[in-house]
Amino acid sequence: MATLYLASGSPRRRELLTQIGVPFLTQIAPIDENALPDESPIAYVERLARAKGQAGLAALTDTQDAVVLGADTAVVLDGRILGKPADRAEAMATLLALSGRSHEVLTAVALVSTARTESRVVASQVSFRPLQRAEIEAYWASGEPQDKAGSYGIQGLAAVFVSQLQGSYSAVVGLPLCETAALLAEFAIPCWQSLPDHSQEVAGRE
């Protein structure tokens, strides 16, 4: 079986891969994450996911049985990508812009080996209830928005902001598990590897 490497330092992506029972090692390599001129948000996240996987593979000393998973998530409002906030003012402005509105979350996942690269992009719609400036300030003070695309984490304190979600919850967190599992199967990497073997127990009850 191939060895899976995760080209991401995100604890959320590590938790999601662990959730579906897929063992992995971590291999991160830096890439340029700036958008290209006139690049669409969908093209941007897919390009970055593939680039992260390819950079991770290039950083390995032994690539013979290696498969590298790269992923990227973008929060998009009115066609504009909302990245990680540079400071409090930017986070405040972002969350005020998202307040009482729906926005798109795009997450791309890519698997890269020496033989091929495959990727998928998942789009989800997230709606926020109207937010008060005081609660945005309190949310910033919690420290949670500082390393999050769009200045929020749906899996954390910001869950109380979300009035509706259409699409994949795990994709909004950072890794679309349904699509990731399908890609892993194409590379002969099964999910649920950490499940205990109950075959003997079941046989004994028959």
Q: How far is CA 114 from CA 63, 109, 126, 184, in A?
A: 7, 17, 36, 15
Radius of gyration of the chain (CA): 19
Q: How far is CA 135 from CA 57, 96, 141, 158, in A?
A: 42, 11, 10, 10
DSSP structural state of residue 182: H
Q: Which residues of 11-20 are buried (b: 16+ CB within 10 A; e: fewer)?
A: ebbbebbeeb
Task: Give me the sign of the Cα torsion angle 24, 30, 33, 39.
Answer: negative
Examine the residue annotation and report whether 72 is marked as an active-site residue of this protein: yes
Reading the block at residue 163, the tokens are 């009035």
Q: How far is CA 201 from CA 18, 187, 192, in A?
A: 25, 31, 18
Q: Which of 32, 65, 72, 147 is catalytic?
A: 72
What's the CA gap between 202 and 206, in Å, rounded? 7
DSSP structural state of residue 35: P
Catalytic residues: 72
